[in-house]
């Protein structure tokens, strides 16, 4: 099997936040820009993925309190 790409979710979030803010600064009609909307949707998708991973980790730990979640 091929090895999965292991890009950190935090780096993805910061990269996408930078792209969204740069695109918002350059465009005059932020609501009508389809590419800006797509970037924003990708950012929200990655943020949702991070929240799900953290909640799964917390749930998998059960009553163990000494182990901290990754986020």
Per DSSP, the three-state class of 9 is helix
Contact (CB, 8 A) for 32 and 19: no
- The residue extents of the domains of the chain are 34-59
Residue 8: predicted pLDDT: 86
Q: Name the more confident of 29 and 56.
A: 56
Q: How far is C-alpha 53 from the chain's CA centre?
A: 11
pTM above 0.75, yes or no: no
pLDDT digits 0-9 by tens, 5-49:
556 888 999 999 999 999 999 888 878 889 999 999 999 999 999
């Amino acid at each position: 099997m091929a090895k999965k790409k292991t890009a950190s979710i935090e780096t993805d979030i910061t990269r996408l936040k930078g792209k969204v803010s740069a695109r918002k600064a350059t465009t005059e009609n932020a609501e009508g820009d389809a590419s800006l909307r797509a970037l924003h949707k990708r950012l929200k998708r990655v943020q949702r993925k991070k929240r799900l991973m953290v909640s799964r980790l917390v749930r998998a730990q059960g009553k163990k309190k000494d182990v901290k979640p990754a986020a």
